[in-house]
Structure 1
Amino acid sequence: MNSEDSYDQYLDTRNLSCPLPLLKAKQCLNTLSIGQVLFVQTTDPGSWNDFASYAELSKHQLVSRKKLGNTFHFLLQKGE
């Protein structure tokens, strides 16, 4: 595990436009085991709502989200 709280996989989607950050995160989540955490970094402002909506509609949990300057950080935990 790494810092930024703690996570199992890191995904850098900075400089990618909607819907690519969320699509790449979905692909990455498919490779993780249940309970593992994905840390996603993006610069797409639309991702703030996209990731929250996705977590509400999916089996995955949005553990945290924060904005640091022009970068957004998300921790998603894979659900069952």
Structure 2
Amino acid sequence: MAADTAIYDLKGLSCPLPVLKAKKRLAGMEPGSRLWLETTDPLAVIDIPAFCADSGHHLVETSAVSGGHRFLVERGEQRS
């Protein structure tokens, strides 16, 4: 993990909050920048990849961790 990659703790939040909060956070970032999302919501394994595909972001990595999942998202070009 790159030292300059921020981690966004979304643990304890249920659908749709992880996606909504990730969307807002990514909207304020520069295209090409990366963000780790950490979740405990079991539906995040469906919701986060779908959100990335729909929003033009690149899901770089997904991994299961104790109690949840981590997603490395690279911000894409903003779609209107």
Q: What's the C-alpha RMSD, in Å, of the aligned pairs?
A: 1.1
Count of aligned pairs between the two proteins: 76
**Cα offset, 1:59, TM superposition:** 1.2
Partner of residue 37, structure 1: 34
Unaligned runs of 5+ in 2: none
With normalisation by structure 2, the TM-score equals 0.87
TM-superposed deviation, 1:71:
1.6
Fraction of identical pairs, as percent: 36
> Which residue in the other structure is 1:65 paired with?
62
Unaligned stretches of 5+ residues in structure 1: none
Matched, 1:55 2:47: no
Query: Per the alignment, in what secondary structure is the counterpart of residue 64 of structure 2?
Result: strand
- Does 1:22 pair with 2:19? yes
- Normalised to the residue count of structure 1, the TM-score between the two structures is 0.87
